[in-house]
Amino acid sequence: MPHLVELQHCHRVYDNGRIIALNDVSFSVARGDFIAITGPSGSGKSTLLDLLCGLEEPSAGDVVFDGATVRDRADWARIRAERIGFVFQSFCLIPSLTAAENIELAMLWQGISAHARRDRVAELLERLGLGARGRQHPMQLSGGERQRVAIARALANSPELIVADEPTGSLDSRSSADIIGLLEGLQRDGAITVVIVTHDRAIAERCDRRVELVDGRIVSDQRRQTV
């Protein structure tokens, strides 16, 4: 079976080449991986994550998703809608919608009946320990709860891959541990592949594989020793 996603000799430059965000990065995500991308600020972590899901295009090199080189933006849009879930530091929930509506929104263009959408939202709220919070608006929720709503939204279409850019960057250490525990559980029980950008050491240490970037290059890629 091919890797889930693969970067092949990817470069990404900005500002007519004056800024080199990624410099000849080759990197494969295997199915079931639970990866932390670490490195100093500006080292290219977000750029790498954005290339993995086609939010950015490489300036040179290829991105291969499930065995097929993807270049077309419409192909990427479909892959993102159907196969990838996103979690952001700032949650990116819509403030005027309830928690339940934020989750349901992800399913609106997927040809799922209103009835099935509501069932799925209820299931996800329950699964993420938000059973009673569905009618609340984001402002009425704690940071940890908001991030759980965002994870529920990311899971709505049963993605194969979850990408998370600093998902705990706005949370206290207890909520952070809670969120990472949830992502760990998804990867373990649901065979979902998870790629997290983080500069939090404690979080990186809980991942099975740690990839470190410095100045746009991968300087280490290590699997955790299993005991």
Ligand X SMILES: Nc1ncnc2c1ncn2[C@@H]1O[C@H](COP(=O)(O)OP(=O)(O)O)[C@@H](O)[C@H]1O
Residues that bind ligand X (CB under 6 A): 14-15, 19, 21, 39, 41-47
The conformation of residue 155, written as its DSSP 8-state character, comes to H
Phi then psi for residue 9, to 5 deg, are 45, 55
Measured from the CB atom, the residue of 45 and 117 that comes closer to Mg ion is: 45
Min dist CB 46 to Mg ion, Å, is: 3
**Cα gap 90→76, rounded to integer Å:** 23
Residue 19 contact, options Mg ion, ligand X, none, Cβ 5-8 Å cut-off depending on partner type: ligand X
The CB-of-216 to ligand X minimum distance in angstroms stands at 7
Minimal CB distance residue for Mg ion: 46
**Shortest distance (Å) from residue 45 CB to ligand X:** 3
Q: Minimum distance between the CB of residue 104 and ligand X, rounded to whole angstroms?
A: 30
For Mg ion, which is the closer residue by CB, 46 or 168? 46
User: How far, in Å, are 62, 132, 181, 203, 213 from residue 101 at the CA level?
Assistant: 36, 14, 25, 30, 37
Count other Cβ atoms within 10 Å, centred on residue 129.
13
43 near Mg ion, judged by CB under 5 A: no
- Min dist CB 185 to Mg ion, Å, is 25
Q: In sequence order, what are the residues at sequence separation of 6 or more whose Cβ sits closer than 8 angstroms to the Cβ of residue 208?
A: 33, 34, 35, 223, 224
If the CB atoms of residues 157 and 176 are measured against ligand X, the closer one turns out to be 176
Question: Is residue 46 part of the contact set for Mg ion (CB under 5 A)?
Answer: yes
**8 Å CB contact between 51 and 79:** no
Task: Find out whether 163 and 2 touch, Cβ atoms under 8 Å.
Answer: no
With CB under 5 to 8 Å by kind, the binding choice for 14 among Mg ion, ligand X, none is: ligand X
Chain residues that interact with Mg ion, rule: CB under 5 A = 45-46
